[in-house]
Amino acid sequence: MADDLNAAYEYCRELHKRHGRTYYLATRLLPAWKRRHVHALYGFARYADEIVDRTGELSPARRAHLLHDWSARFTTGLHGAPIDDPLLPAVLHTIAVFNLDRSDFTLFLRSMEMDLTIRSYRTYDDLLDYMEGSAAVIGTMMLPILGSDDLAAAREPARQLGLAFQLTNFIRDVAEDLERERVYLPEEDLDRFGLTAADLFAAARDGATPPAVRDLIAYEVGRARGHYAAAAAGVTLLTPASQACIRTAYLLYGGILDEVAAQGYDVFGRRAVVPNARRLAVAARALVTPAGTPVTVPGPGAPVPG
């Protein structure tokens, strides 16, 4: 049993290392005993995402069946039954060790199901309903592992950081999401700039970002920075041993928005990436920054909606 559990944690670590470069780097700054539990949560989220997004050759019905089957195995494991799965033993062990809120996992799986059928969102409130499960709960799942003397006060900043990270991904990956025929930028925002989803598909096809689309992306960057600002105070509420990790993740994900802005909000010409030298420098500075030092809040942004 111990060998199976260790193998499951290692499987999660490999998934994290392969697919979550920024977050994996930040996780390296945690105490060793915490890292594998963070890898387990990342593995859980990534594996579900793989079923939904990396099986494009399968029909939606087949992908739904795979997700439901995996979710059922997870639920079976939560009730103490033995399961045959490469990573779920690590996830279930982490849930048990930290007494994580199981409803967070239910909400996450609900959002993954939404990705099987929903291609766009009319309003930002509609998108927030999706992100509650896909992003905000990741923050609250992580919080008991990271630790805080005031979990209640740290909860909302953790939620906001999850939303900030998710919206950053949506901004950076507009073209990739369009390839899956998904538009995560709300229709009401497209309306604001005189755009339609067809305009985004055309821009992606041409590999060029028209001025109106750049204005839209700048607006979304401001909205994401609002979430980062709402999350900032939460970093210093964490236990000192966890602050360097989250400080690094905060600054590097926020740095993606800096890169988007630096390239003139062009999200179709090239994918915004924080250079490796900057990534390592941020991690090194975070490691020597005294615990309790406030994070650098990003520039002015839109008020946090919702």
Domain residue ranges in the chain: 1-105, 118-306
Rg (CA), the chain: 19
Q: Do domains 1-105 and 118-306 have the same CATH topology?
A: yes
Calpha distance 99→22 (Å, rounded)? 27
- Render pLDDT for 61-114 as a digit per residue (tens, 0 to 9): 899 999 999 999 999 999 999 899 999 999 999 999 999 999 999 999 999 999
Calpha distance 126→145 (Å, rounded)? 30
Calpha distance 28→24 (Å, rounded)? 6
Residue 161's CB: how many other CB atoms inside 10 A?
Answer: 26
Which position has the token pair 């111990």? 2
pLDDT at 2: 66
Residue pair 217/279 in contact (Cβ under 8 Å)? The answer is no
CA-based nearest residue to 183, from 165, 194, 171, 193: 171
Q: What is the dihedral of CA 78, 80, 86, 91, to 10 degrees?
A: 40
pLDDT at 27: 97
Length of the chain in terms of residues written: 306
Q: What is the pTM of this model?
A: 0.94
pLDDT at 306: 33
> In CATH, which superfamily holds the domain spanning 118-306?
Farnesyl Diphosphate Synthase (1.10.600.10)
pLDDT at 57: 75
Indicate the CATH number for domain 1-105.
1.10.600.10
- Render pLDDT for 242-265 as a digit per residue (tens, 0 to 9): 999 999 999 999 999 999 999 999
pLDDT at 59: 84
pLDDT at 302: 44
Low-confidence ranges of the chain (pLDDT < 50): 301-306
